[in-house]
Amino acid sequence: MKNILIADDEKDIVKLLRLYLETDEATIFEAYDGEMAIQILNNNVIDLALLDIMMPRINGFELTKKIRKEWHIPVMIISAKIESADKILGLDLGADDYITKPFDPLEVAARVRARFRENHGSRSLSHAKDKLTVRELILNPAECILYKENQAISLTAVELKLMCLLMAHPGRVFTKEQLYEAGWEEAYAVDDNTIRVAISKLRDKIGAENISTIRGLGYRLEK
Which positions ≥6 away from 33 have C-beta within 8 Å?
A: 7, 9, 55, 56, 57, 58
Q: In which band, very low, low, confident or very high, does the pLDDT at 127 lie, cut at 50, 70 and 90?
A: very low
Percent of the chain with pLDDT over 90: 48
Q: In which band, very low, low, confident or very high, does the pLDDT at 182 lie, cut at 50, 70 and 90?
A: confident
- DSSP category for residue 160: H
Please compute the mean of the pLDDT values over residues 68-72 and round it to a whole number.
82
Estimate to the nearest angstrom the gap between the alpha carbon of 111 and the chain centroid.
Answer: 11
Instruction: Give the CB-side neighbour count of residue 58, counting CA atoms within 13 A.
Output: 15
Q: Phi, psi (5° rounding) for residue 32?
A: -115, 5
The dihedral of CA 81, 87, 89, 93: what is its sign? positive
Lowest mean pLDDT among 7-11, 174-178, 212-216: 174-178
pTM value is 0.56
